[in-house]
Amino acid sequence: FAGDRADQADELQRATELDRLDRRISEIQGRLSEGAVAGPPRTDAIGVGSTATVRFEDGTESTVQIGEVAEALDRTLVTAHSPLGRALLGHRAGDTVSYRTPEGPASAVVVSLGGASA
């Protein structure tokens, strides 16, 4: 009797996890289809799909791509929903952007967008 309840609980947990995964797959498929419709990235200002080189306060520079879905091993992708990604959206080469990090406020300068330098 107790074994039956444990089996039912395990089955319910698996079904709940499967539902969660199905919803996540649908969400990602929707984002991918929207991305295909969006066309090429903007060249006048940073948008989703843009590549930009930014200089941080410590003087280091990094070339990043603004995207929707982060890949676990892709260190150059910045999601549009992250603090840095939100700060960069709509800006041009030469602009200074401010954003928050776990350590506190930070800023960066947009050095270039695509291939054009400031």
pLDDT, tens digit, for every residue of 68-77?
776 655 667 8
| DSSP, res 109 | E
In the block, residue with structure tokens 């549009």 = 80
CB atoms near residue 10 (< 10 Å) = 10
CA dist list (Å): 91 to 1, 52, 111: 64, 10, 11
Structure tokens at 80: 């549009």
Asked if 87 contacts 80 with a C-beta cutoff of 8 angstroms, the reply is: no
Give the predicted TM-score (pTM) of the model.
Answer: 0.62
For the stretch 35-53, pLDDT in tens is 655 566 556 899 888 899 9
